Structure 1
Amino acid sequence: MKYIIAGTDRPGSSTLKLSKYIQGIYKSLGEDVEIIDLLEVKEHLHTGPHYGKDEPGIRPYLDKIAQSDGLIMVCPEYNGSLPGVLKYFIDHWRFPESFEYRPVCFVGLSAGMFGGLRPVEHLQQIFSYRNAFMFPERVFIMASHKVINADGEVQDEAIKALLLQQAKNFGKFTKALSSAKLDANSVIELKKKA
């Protein structure tokens, strides 16, 4: 299963609304995709052991990441970068299995004119450093407060088309990696057999 990471803990965020919209796209393509909402994850980030320790509250989220067929990162821009809660969550992921050979795609959004370009590039630095497979078709949404309405519907036809194209092609990308046994889950299985 693929997971959409709604990259902020802000209540009622456009990020979560957009994540639900993207989930609907995948569902229309016949793929079941689950959302990891950082508002829910947040309460488990501040209890118990940290950084790589398998604390029970956060374990289900870490298991989902480490077993995913692919990750769809939906990231808003906060002060020229990604939200701290998203980086803190990523810092809890198990290494190397959560990152290496894991297919990842990116959607950025911001109220400003760059559409979340900076936080997506910062995320790409993290995932590149940790040897993930990064899908090259990124989507950036400028003036997100105008593009995504209160009901979570995307109002811009060009953005709708880009999100649909990304979902279709990310599906092909993950299938190609899996069929060649190059994706994270295949590599983990091969290491177990070795």
Structure 2
Amino acid sequence: MKYIISGTDRPGSNTLKISKFIQSIYKDLGEDVEIMDLQELKKHLHGDLLYGTPSEGITPYLQKVLSSDGLIVVSPEYNGSMPGILKYFIDHMKFPDSFEYRPVCFVGLGIMWGGLRPVEHLQGVFGYRNAFIFPERVFLMNVHKSVDADGQVIDATAKSLLIKQAQGFQKFTQALSGAGLDANSFIAKKLQLAPK
């Protein structure tokens, strides 16, 4: 299963609205994808937060990443980068299994530049850890004008770009999996080779 990471903990965010819209696109393409809402994840963050020792509440989210066929990361721009909660979540992901050969695509949300900066930062992080980055990124400028109160994308160009990305990312993940080059294939091979 693919997972959409709704990359902010802001209540009532456009990020979650866009994530739900993307989920509906995949459903129309015949694929169920699940949203990981970082606002929900935040509820599980309390006490001493130590990297490498995630709390029980965050562990199910991390397990979803480890089993995913691909990740769709939707990130707004906060102060020229990604939201802190998104970076915090990324920093808890198991190395190298969460990243290495994991297909990932990005949607940036912003005002003037459409979330270009956080997407470029995310590409650097995932690329450094050897993820397979789908090259067709989507940048939604003036996102507050692109989506209505019901979460429907009303901007025709934005809608077209999101649909095109989803169609391409489906083919991308299928091609990698079919050739045995995706993260799940590599993890399965490692388990077969592990001493018993």
Q: Tell me the TM-score range normalised by the shorter chain.
A: over 0.9
**Paired amino acid for 1:175:** Q
Does residue 18 (structure 1) correspond to residue 18 (structure 2)? The answer is yes
If the length of structure 1 is used for normalisation, what is the TM-score? Answer: 0.97
Q: Tell me, what secondary structure is at the counterpart of 1:45?
A: coil
What secondary structure is seen at the aligned counterpart in 1 of 2:43? helix
Aligned to 1:82: 82
Q: Distance in 1 between matches of 2:47 and 2:7?
A: 20
SS in 1 for 2:167: helix
Aligned to 1:157: 156
Number of residue equivalences: 193
For structure 1, which segment, 155-164 or 41-50, has the greater mean C-alpha deviation from structure 2 after superposition? 41-50
1:52 Cα deviation (Å)? 2.1
- In the other structure, the counterpart of 1:135 is 134
Task: For residues 36-80 of structure 1, give each alpha carbon's deviation from its aligned partner in whole angstroms, at most 9, with x where no partner exists.
Answer: 000000122334552222431111101001110000000000011
Per the alignment, residue 181 of structure 1 pairs with 180
Aligned-residue RMSD, C-alpha: 1.0
Identity across aligned pairs (percent)? 67
Structure 1, gaps ≥5 residues long: none
CA distance in 2 between partners of 1:57 and 1:97 (Å) = 20
Q: Where does 1:24-173 land on structure 2 (aligned, <5 Å)?
A: 24-47=24-47, 50-110=50-110, 112-173=111-172
Please say if residues 101 and 184 of structure 1, whose CA atoms lie closer than 8 Å, have aligned partners that are also in contact. Answer: yes
1:193 shift after superposition: 1.1
Residues 124-147 of structure 1: per-residue CA shift (max 9 Å, x gap): 000011110000000000001111
Contact 1:4–1:73, Cα closer than 8 Å, also in 2? yes
Decide whether the 8 Å contact of 1:51 with 1:93 is kept in 2.
no
- Which 10-residue stretch deviates more, 78-87 or 54-63? 54-63
**Inter-partner Cα distance in structure 1 for 2:130 and 2:4:** 19
| Aligned residue identity for 2:79 | N
Q: Determine the C-alpha separation between the residues in 2 that align with 1:137 and 1:47.
A: 39
Tell me whether 1:190 sits opposite 2:174 in the alignment.
no
Decide whether the 8 Å contact of 1:77 with 1:109 is kept in 2.
yes
SS in 2 for 1:52: coil
What does the per-residue CA deviation read over 1:136-168, in whole Å, with 9 as the maximum and x for residues that have no partner?
000000001111111111111111111101001
Greater shift after overlay, 100-109 or 144-153?
Answer: 144-153
